[in-house]
Amino acid sequence: MNTFQAPKGTYDLLPPDSAVYLAVREAISAPLRNSGYGYIETPGFENVELFARGVGESTDIVTKEMYTLTTKGGSELALRPEGTASVLRAALEANLHKAGNLPVKLWYSGSYYRYERPQKGRYRHFSQVGAEAIGAEDPALDAELIILADQAYRSLGLTGFRILLNSLGDKECRPVYREALQTFLRDLDLDDETRRRIEINPLRVLDDKRRDVQRQLTDAPKLRDYLCDACRVYHAEVRDLLTAAGVAYEDDERLVRGLDYYTRTTFEFVHDGLGAQSAVGGGGRYDGLSEMIGGPELPSVGWALGVDRTVLALEAEGITLQLPPATSVFAVPLGDEARRLLFGVVTELRRAGVAADFSFGAKGLKGAMKNANRSGARFTVVLGERDLAEGVAQVKDMESGEQKPVPLAALVADLTAKLT
């Protein structure tokens, strides 16, 4: 009989590896929770039009990679390919921007879906932690988010990542650059699909990774030469704030990211140990996105960091996270009375905050001790008939191998003291 397997391009997270993913999510979200960002969850699917408008009709995400479905009622939905459009939609629907405390600062964590060619570091189902600051145009906010991401990565011990930084201009200066870029691109030897992209969003052509395209872009006009004075001043302040905070970055005039909604500040975190899929996260300012999806003018900025890519970066640097043990105490009862009593001890230990487990099923001492070893517990508690008669339990230190009797009445206190 054939068993089912996970769909192509997806993965299952199983112990013990799943503990690393949980630790990465915790590390990325910790600086956000400490900086005024509240947690938000959105549905795993949204109206197709939300992403078509917000992410951009010319993007690969919308044209090639989005999973879409038609409901029984005829609605067109899409599994979410990214988080920003969904979070902004939810904030607008709940009128969070009208509460009078801008920016609205939100963070989220979840799974996202894109139909891509599966390879290491690129899956059809992937996990991200993201942050959005909605409703304020302030270079300090852009700098804050970059600094918090840098802090999160460094808290994990990562040092091999780089921050790439650019400005994409605003609605005043970008149209001038767009026209100059279109004029340049129209004279190149490009395929029909890329030529269509020139007319919809020419900046996306700069993001084309094909070598034959990149070779032709060497003399393309540079956006920095077209920035208006306001954008130059804004970008300079972001750079100065990062420098003052001791956060190193690299100017990358070709950085445009893969989404249409970005304006002004755009940035990417890359790790050179990951090969072709070097980006571990990124984001930027998206001052016009709210209006694109039917909301008021709400200048905003945010990022998303890939949990999967961050785990790969840890592996590339040979970093092993110090994770709390899944089990600190493993209880082995021998006999019905011992089983009843030790189950109560385990329950008390758990209530005291000690990670404790129990030898379930009718196992003998040998089999139960094998389970205790596999659990990784620091201490194993064995209780047999003779121990019951003497009012003690045998507590074995699994690291040193030392074993000693502990009075049953003092067992919970003794183990709690040893582990806290």
- Provide the residue ranges of all domains of the chain, joining segments of one domain with +: 17-173+227-316, 329-419
The residue written with tokens 């945010």 in the block is 302
**pLDDT score of 58 more than 60:** no
The residue written with tokens 């599966």 in the block is 118
Q: Count CB neighbours of 256 within 10 A.
A: 22
Asked if 85 and 289 touch (Cβ cutoff 8 Å), the reply is yes
Question: 369 is written with which tokens?
Answer: 């001790």
Phi, psi of 196 (to 5 degrees): -65, -40
The matching CATH number, chosen from 3.40.640.10, 3.40.50.300, 3.30.930.10, 3.30.70.60, for 17-173+227-316 is: 3.30.930.10
Identify the pLDDT of residue 121.
Answer: 67
> Which residues on adjacent β-strands are paired with residue 130?
108, 304
| Count, residues in the chain | 420
Question: 247 is written with which tokens?
Answer: 């956060």
Mean pLDDT computed over 278-285: 92
Rounded to whole angstroms, what are the CA distances from 282 to 262, 292, 388?
A: 11, 21, 60
For the stretch 373-418, pLDDT in tens is 999 999 999 999 999 999 999 999 999 999 999 999 999 999 999 9
**pLDDT score of 56 more than 80:** no
* Res. 262 pLDDT band, cuts 50 70 90: confident
Phi, psi of 59 (to 5 degrees): -75, 150
**pLDDT score of 257 more than 70:** no
Q: From 387, 389, 154, 367, select the one nearest 248 (Cα to Cα).
A: 154
Rounded to whole angstroms, what are the CA distances from 244 to 141, 146, 149, 266, 377?
A: 14, 13, 16, 19, 46
Q: From 316, 314, 354, select the one nearest 23 (Cα to Cα).
A: 314
- Residue of 365 and 162 predicted with greater confidence: 162
Across the beta sheet with 329-333, the strand order is: 356-358, 329-333, 379-383, 392-397, 403-407
Structure pTM?
0.88
Identify the pLDDT of residue 315.
Answer: 94
Helix, strand, or coil here: 222? Answer: coil
The matching CATH number, chosen from 3.40.50.12780, 3.30.499.10, 3.40.50.800, 3.30.420.40, for 329-419 is: 3.40.50.800
Q: Do domains 17-173+227-316 and 329-419 have the same CATH topology?
A: no
